[in-house]
């Protein structure tokens, strides 16, 4: 949807800093072809720390269903360390 310009011709913008604009979140989901197992497969949100303060993280984490997890990291991108943590979580859940 296009924004309507102000009377002076400028487009309205939000007052958001560059770090927040570039922040991101990733969803990692495990999929299983057995419907009775799929409901137990974990879904992990990896959130950039600058997008969610610690208190909001803790409050949100408590509201999630049992198979959803929230990781608050320096970056919302999944790197090798984050992937290692995700597979460690998955391993603990399937045992």
What is the predicted pLDDT for the residue at 3? 57
Q: What is the pLDDT of residues 36-47, one digit of tens each?
A: 988 889 999 999
What is the C-alpha separation between 61 and 70, in angstroms, rounded?
A: 6
Tell me if 71 sits within 8 A of 78, measured CB to CB: no
Query: If DSSP codes are grouped into helix, strand and coil, which group holds residue 60?
Result: helix
Phi, psi of 29 (to 5 degrees): -125, 140
Query: If DSSP codes are grouped into helix, strand and coil, which group holds residue 82?
Result: helix
Sequence spans of domains, the chain: 67-95
Q: What is the pLDDT of residues 63-91, one digit of tens each?
A: 999 999 999 998 888 999 999 999 999 99
What is the predicted pLDDT for the residue at 22? 65
Phi, psi of 61 (to 5 degrees): -60, -40
Q: What is the pLDDT of residues 3-16, one digit of tens each?
A: 555 566 666 666 66
């Amino acid at each position: 949807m296009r924004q309507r310009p102000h009377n002076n011709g400028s487009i309205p913008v939000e007052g958001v800093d560059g770090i927040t604009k570039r922040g991101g979140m990733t969803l990692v989901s495990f999929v299983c072809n057995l419907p009775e197992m799929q409901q137990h497969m974990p879904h992990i949100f990896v959130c950039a720390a600058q997008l969610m303060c610690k208190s909001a993280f803790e409050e949100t984490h408590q509201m999630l269903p049992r198979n959803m997890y929230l990781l608050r990291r320096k970056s919302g991108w999944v790197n090798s360390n984050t992937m290692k943590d995700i597979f460690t979580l998955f391993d603990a859940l399937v045992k």
